[in-house]
Amino acid sequence: MPFSLRDHWVWDFWFADDGERFHLYYLHAPCSLGDPHLRHRNARLGHAISTDLREWEDLGPCLLPSGGDAVDADATWTGSIVRDPAGGWRMHYTGSRFLRPDSHANIETVAVATSTDLHTWVKHPELSLSADPALYETLGHSVWPEEAWRDPWVMPAPGGATGWWMLVTARSRDGADELDRGVVGLAVSDDLVTWRAAPALSAPGAGFKHLEVPQIIDIDGHDVLLFSCDTPALAGAREARGETGGVWAVEVPREGGPYAPEGARLILDESTYAARAVRDRSGRWQLLGFRNLDESGAFVGGITDPMPLSWSAESGLVVGAVAEVGR
């Protein structure tokens, strides 16, 4: 059954796999807010578990905003989890701090929490990472209403290199069109603890105001970048052509950057958003997303059942219909 909560909106999510159970970490906010747009500044992190990516046991909230002047003062947003080579688990997630109650302006920062069991998490505010203004746009440098530095996706450095990469939803500090500055940001680490911002993996001008929830998957020997961008956040030539948004995919070099999202292809329309790929128990890639818009354009919420992914020499990444998941 698709995952949802009775009285809460559910949207962005990510996974950890302990070998026996899949752990789902999801954003949620109460429907009592009335306006779905208010969910962003009221987002909390929940936790659910499953053995098959279909039937979920909800365990409730697992990480709350810190309040005060913390980097996650107001909301906890999207992240990712990796197993620490030293033992345990490390979650890199987005902390959001809104500047005023009547404004969308906010500062986004990558925050860190650790766990030994994927249930209880300890925050480490001293390890947070902000956008480097020498490399990336920060709040006030353009008409864009936020300091975009969110949705961290952590993975081993590609091409046989040592260390770790963190892909980030970011915006270039340069670009003639102030709206068309969405890039795949990058931070690097030697030890998974200390991070430093690095030049973006893509260039501005690709037609996206932002490239959200980036993820790299290796499917049939092809490295593919997944990201999301809805219609209102398309820019440049894409906006001029009247394209529509959703979930996008583009093959990228196996040895690392640069990435070329201008060649990305839409694989799911914006009725589904912020899709994440995960390997099922048979090793096959499955794609899940949150239910974004209904036929009238109203926000829905909740997470889809798995959809199998495959690679086609003619079409690239292909999303199949919902089917039985390998066990």
Retrieve residue 38's tokens. 């208010």
Which of 228-252 are b and which e, b meaning 16 or more Cβ less than 10 Å from the residue's Cβ? bbbeebbbbebbeeeeebbbbbbbb
pLDDT value of position 322: 60
Question: CB count, 10 Å around CB of 117?
Answer: 10
C-beta pairs of 87-91 under 8 Å, 24+ apart in sequence:
87/116, 88/114, 88/115, 88/116, 89/16, 89/114, 89/115, 89/116, 89/118, 90/114, 90/154, 90/192, 91/25, 91/63, 91/115, 91/121
Distance CA 114, CA 120 (A): 8
Residue linked to tokens 């003062």: 73
Helix, strand or coil, per DSSP, at residue 116: coil
pLDDT value of position 115: 98
Retrieve residue 246's tokens. 């959703």
Bridge partners (DSSP) of residue 303 are: 3, 290
C-alpha pair distances (Å), 250 with each of 118, 180, 275, 324? 31, 18, 14, 26
Those residues whose C-beta lies under 8 Å from the C-beta of residue 153, and which sit 6 or more positions away, are 80, 166, 167, 168, 213, 214, 215, 216
Residue pair 111/92 in contact by the 8 Å Cβ criterion: yes
Q: Which of 68, 72, 96, 81 is nearest to 26 (CA)?
A: 81
For residue 178, the Cα-to-chain-centroid distance in whole angstroms is 23
3-state helix, strand, coil in the chain (%, to 5): 5, 45, 45
Distance CA 127, CA 258 (A): 27
In the Cβ-directed half-sphere of 45, how many Cα atoms lie within 13 Å? 30
pLDDT value of position 324: 45
Residue pair 149/168 in contact by the 8 Å Cβ criterion: yes
Distance CA 26, CA 2 (A): 13
Distance CA 228, CA 302 (A): 17
pLDDT value of position 160: 86
What are the chain's domains?
8-319 (2.115.10.20)
Bridge partners (DSSP) of residue 170 are: 149, 183
Residue pair 227/217 in contact by the 8 Å Cβ criterion: no
Residue linked to tokens 């398309």: 234
Indicate left, alpha or beta for 176 from its phi (over 0: left) and psi (-120 to 50: alpha): alpha
Tens of pLDDT along the chain (327 residues) come to: 799 999 999 999 999 999 999 999 999 999 999 999 999 999 999 999 999 999 999 999 999 999 999 999 999 999 999 999 888 999 999 999 999 888 789 999 999 999 999 999 999 999 999 999 999 999 999 999 999 999 999 999 998 889 999 999 999 999 999 999 999 999 999 999 999 999 999 999 999 999 999 999 999 999 999 999 999 999 999 999 999 999 999 999 999 999 999 999 999 999 999 999 999 999 999 999 999 999 999 999 999 999 999 999 999 999 997 654 443
Please state whether the peptide bond connecting residue 258 to the residue before it is cis, i.e. omega within 30 degrees of 0: yes
